């Protein structure tokens, strides 16, 4: 964080808390390794479920 504090996100816990497909899990893995700040922003401020539906199609993450 800007004030020097750090946060830790349990990525496996996030994935396990959602009903994700393999494609969605792959997208989350991609973000973790290639855009960790984007991943953190989605977890903390964004709508992760909506993001996954948009990026991998409407299947998975049942309403």
Residue at 16 is within a domain: yes
Number of domains the chain is built from = 1
pLDDT tens, residue by residue, 5-51: 888 888 888 888 887 888 888 888 899 899 988 988 998 887 888 88
pLDDT number for residue 63: 43
pLDDT number for residue 8: 87
Instruction: Pick left, alpha or beta for residue 37 (phi over 0 → left; psi -120 to 50 → alpha; otherwise beta).
Output: alpha
Residue at 6 is within a domain: no
Residue at 17 is within a domain: yes
Residue at 27 is within a domain: yes
Helices (H), the chain: 11-17, 22-34, 36-45, 48-56
Long-range Cβ contacts of 37-44 (<8 Å, 24+ apart): 39/9, 39/11, 40/7, 40/9, 43/9, 43/14, 44/7
Q: Is this model's pTM higher than 0.85 or not?
A: no
Which residues span the domain enclosing 17?
A: 11-56
């Amino acid at each position: 964080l800007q004030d020097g504090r750090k946060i830790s996100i349990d990525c496996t816990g996030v994935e396990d808390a959602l009903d994700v497909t393999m494609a969605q899990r792959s997208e989350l893995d991609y973000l973790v390794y290639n855009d960790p700040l984007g991943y953190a922003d989605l977890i903390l401020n964004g709508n992760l479920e909506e993001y996954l539906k948009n990026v991998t199609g409407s299947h998975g993450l049942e309403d």
